[in-house]
Structure 1
């Protein structure tokens, strides 16, 4: 995933999509995102969804943490960055805070750490479903109407491209679920390729606008420092909240990875829908950096948690 994201960013820097090809590329990206969420719907068993939603002690504090506490942290970083870094870059931290958790990596690292895998799958999937309804309105509410080129009609596209294919996948699970289970490596590659396409299209807009001329050295420092602060807050905060609601160790580990990680799979497609092309790539910079670093640091954290007491 890290290599694919780096390839998408590198390709956008060297050969950004622009002009008349932009509309075609956006159409392809939307189709890839539709396929991504359709496959997610096929993969997640309906029985696991129903069973996992009964784990109220884990789920509802997790929803409050991911969209409430992390959203507030993003708002504080956005406010703190006013005047110190470009407006759209500061806005990217607010966008980062409003995003849901990952699904695949949060589940994988929870498994490596000895967490409750079933709860991880359901919790991350539920957060992404809720994100379709919560992320864009929450971002708009916190940012204010004049903060970005936010287009309300984008909400219709969000439902069409993200929610409908997921529900369609759930409906066709009985017919196609076995095929997906039998072709897991192919489906995983399709997943990651879809995300990379969305990142390439979004980042191309920033390259065409010569984003490096709009972000000075102070802005890049804020990007690195703000991302580091967000990572520390996300991981330590999620671990402490999991303990404060008295989760057992396995569920507390699941809470940690679902609560601290942020989804580029939701962030990149949503940015291409909600923001103008010139804005989307710059707004995505914090989530791109956060996502790459979270994949790197999650491995030693999982190894540490899996050690015998």
Structure 2
């Protein structure tokens, strides 16, 4: 149980990257070079995701449309509404820029890999989880920028600029479409080399985090985020996750879903994607303090992994108690 609450290697790498950017931030020509390198990594990331995402899996999801509608509603409607409605209660402990990051977190798509993994461990409907998480990831490319544009306009920022829309198309959408087109030739190879996608996935996140925090540190990030503010941000993330878990769990039961579908809804409808969020933040929040924007997402990411790991095991134990004659088919972590 204690191991569940310890950070994994990637989280440690994130912490080290933040530490490195705080001690040795990139600036000048190095910042420009890292910016180009980060853009290339993001394009490669979305190309590989396009090549990996099965069109058959997304199309198959139409047969279980009620479940997917609930997951998408939780991801793209419930979360943003919670962020806006609870703003008078949650915003005071943090700065306006940090709460903008919280609102951005609320607009992001669900995770793919961890949603499926936790659903499998908990003995949920894995095939439905694959479809729901994939559809969420795909739709997030379009829905998240719309939400961000509305947020910026409400803050008097003029909404989404044409430059930002162009970067979304260039860095996110076109590489993803190219990956889908190339899937017939490289799809099997990508599936066989999933660790490669993981390296690009995590590497692009670390690059964005390093450049984002470098710029923010040079602008005085840690002077603006003392420990009490950081503690308030952690509390906000815990509250949002707890409300999402309660809403998806009781909502699934009220709508008459079975236990397997309930598990899928809980794990796919309550999570937010760091892999999609960090690259999107770089594109959508040009000119904003990017370190402030991605910090809530980084904290939420680790909290959701720790909580969902415990929750998945609890679901699995309940399944074993109901059907003690069945073997444990949940995969190891």
* TM-score after normalising by structure 1: 0.93
1:75-86 alignment, distance < 5 Å: 75-86=84-95
Partner residue of 1:274? 284
Alpha-carbon contact 2:149-2:160 (below 8 Å) kept: no
The match for 2:164 among 154, 169, 177 is 154
Alpha-carbon contact 1:208-1:278 (below 8 Å) kept: no
The match for 2:142 among 111, 133, 136 is 133
Q: CA shift at 1:58, angstroms?
A: 0.8
1:206 counterpart = 2:216: yes
CA deviation digits over 1:213-233, x for unaligned, max 9? 113444223212111101111
Q: CA shift at 1:53, angstroms?
A: 3.0
Alpha-carbon separation, structure 1, partners of 2:62 and 2:40 = 30
Q: CA shift at 1:30, angstroms?
A: 1.5
Partner residue of 2:42? 33
CA deviation digits over 1:213-260, x for unaligned, max 9? 113444223212111101111212121222222222222211111111
1:287 counterpart = 2:297: yes
| Residues 297/81 of structure 1: CA separation in 2 closer, same or farther (3 Å cut) | closer
Alpha-carbon contact 1:66-1:259 (below 8 Å) kept: yes
Alpha-carbon contact 1:74-1:95 (below 8 Å) kept: no
Corresponding residue pairs, total: 309
Alpha-carbon contact 1:9-1:203 (below 8 Å) kept: yes
Q: CA shift at 1:45, angstroms?
A: 1.8
What SS does the corresponding residue of 1:213 show, helix, strand or coil? helix
Alpha-carbon separation, structure 1, partners of 2:126 and 2:13 = 26
Partner residue of 1:7? 16
What SS does the corresponding residue of 1:306 show, helix, strand or coil? helix
The match for 1:176 among 186, 190, 196 is 186
CA deviation digits over 1:266-303, x for unaligned, max 9? 11111111223551110111111000111122211111
The match for 2:315 among 294, 305, 309 is 305
Alpha-carbon contact 2:70-2:265 (below 8 Å) kept: no
Gaps of 5+ in 1: none
* TM-score after normalising by structure 2: 0.86
Partner residue of 2:197? 187
1:55 counterpart = 2:60: no
Report which of the two structures shows the higher radius of gyration computed on alpha carbons: 2
Alpha-carbon separation, structure 2, partners of 1:99 and 1:25 = 25
